[in-house]
Amino acid sequence: MVRPTLQLHPPYTAPAARPAATLLLLRDAPGGPEVLMTRRSPAASFLPGAFVFPGGRVDTADHEAHDLASTRPGQAAEPLTHALAALRESFEELGILLALRADGTPLDASDLARLDRTRPLYPQVRALGLRLAAAELRLLAHWVTDRSIPKRFDTTFLLARMPEGQQAVADDAEQFEPLWLRAADALERHAADRLPMIFPTLRWLTQFTNVDAVLAACTEDQPRWVSCPRAGYVGGQVQRYMEHDPPYGELALVCPDGQLEHALDWQHERPVPLLRHLHRLTAPNANVMTGPGTNSYIVGTAASGYIVIDPGPLLKDHIDRLLAFTAGRITTIVCTHSHPDHSPAAPPLAQACARLTGHTPPVLGLASAATARAHSHFTPDRALGDGERLTLRDGVHPITLRVVHTPGHAANHLCLILEEDGLLFSGDHILNGSTTIIDPPDGDMSAYLDPLDRLALACEQDRIEFILPAHGHVIGEAAQAIARLKAHRLRREAKVLAAMRAFPQGGPDEWLSFAYNDTPQALWPLARRSLLAHVQRIEQMAML
């Protein structure tokens, strides 16, 4: 865990989230299921004018109305309370009620006519001998409002089929303009700024062709996903991100309590503070291979001196910025590997430090292998041993970086673990938002996959929570990220093997279109390199 004293921002206590429930009512339509949405009042204190699903706060009465509900065997009390709240709110806001008569048949228009939306629902249901159809609801998701928002809700999202013979009629107080939309159409309108709504829960619905399939996918009393978004600034404007979004882990590292403090813009002029003893300076070498550019990490303080990890490509402005920020007080330069976007700046940075301070920091790493391409030849001042530790001390916050040899992307690749804070500097072994290219002969897929298990074990032993890649934002939930990466690589390998079996007389180009059919064709020349690495590994395994 990151030491609290090294966080950039004071602790923050987020406002308590109020329990709430909402209901996605679905109906079958040509082209896929439609969902019912309504527009919130422009005067609402929360999400004014946004299109939402009917729902609202969980009330005391919802806890006390369990005897009025149909239930599934084993249904727990809390989910039942949320289901009742969603049913009640749907009735109050849109006049829709999922309920059954005493004989188990659904309501019709005459039953609805006997109910008054302006009066409390539960006494009316009891008086008429009705049962609220809570057993028909399915649990979709669980959302907690971003910690930085003053008015927060802990919301359960439920699904149900729209009851036949009923029509949505907005109350024209809280809700207006009910409309039915296919999920894909709603998302298209939202992207075109013609349908304001918050995080598009609807994305998940686009994969289904009918309501039965949707409900079948949500039969358990466990949500398909749980999310508490985080917020940061992009271009000076607040942007919010879910757990699967690339910036989420960085926001969790820099603003763990949900403080709205961190700018996510990629810029190259000055180092971005991540912790009090950790800064990232991104080189201005953005392209399809490097993403926003190569991240140079500056570990340490003015009191301890600095270790620079991956000084980057041979770009004078980038070297000058590293030198200026550290005032030349760099004790060590570490290169995770020898590729030209990582190591060429190391010697000139060391020489510049010598001119400024009289001390020449050693360049450490692993020498490039004979298999390296010409532009990746590299010889460090000293080779780093697997498990070796590099230390910085300022008397208050010791810093220990442990070396982990991780060949695969390059034969001389290594990672570093900051032991006191549970941080993994992954170089190109683990990236954010993409998978690294394994390019034989210097790249080797078996050699790449094996260290993932070592890094996963290190996550457990060193309590590693965050991965700091050489390209992209910080990655959170380190162990899960590594597990997903390995699973992705093995799934890709299975597709390569399937392609080889389907086209035994073919070659890499034929296999590529089959195994990477989910990858944009513009990236196929790059993907072809990794495909060759998979083929090499498959053939080696066949020989065992």
Tell me: the pLDDT tens digits for 206-237? Answer: 999 999 999 999 977 789 889 999 999 999 99
Show the CA angle centred on residue 393, arms to residues 392 and 396, nearest 5°.
140
| pTM of this prediction exceeds 0.85 | yes
Annotate 307-374 with DSSP letters as a single string: EEE---SS-HHHHHHHHHHHTT-EEEEE-S---TTTSTTHHHHHHHHHHHHS--PPEEE-PPPTTS-G
Give CA 475 to chain center in angstroms.
8
17-228: CATH topology? Nucleoside Triphosphate Pyrophosphohydrolase (3.90.79)
Q: In the chain, where are the structural domains located?
A: 17-228, 230-265, 267-485, 491-542
Residues 267-485: name the CATH superfamily.
Answer: Ribonuclease Z/Hydroxyacylglutathione hydrolase-like (3.60.15.10)
- Side-by-side strand order, sheet with 389-392: 389-392, 399-405, 414-418, 423-427, 466-469
Read off the pLDDT of residues 33-58 as tens digits, 9 standing for 90 and up: 999 999 887 777 667 888 889 999 99
> Is residue 263 helix, strand or coil?
strand
Mean residue pLDDT across the chain? 93
- Residue 184, pLDDT > 70, answer yes
User: What pLDDT score does 45 carry?
Assistant: 67
Residue 503: is its pLDDT beyond 80? yes
Q: Closest Cα to residue 260, out of 240, 275, 277?
A: 240
- pLDDT tens-digit map of 326-351: 999 999 999 999 999 999 999 999 99
The Cα–Cα gap between 379 and 447 comes to: 21
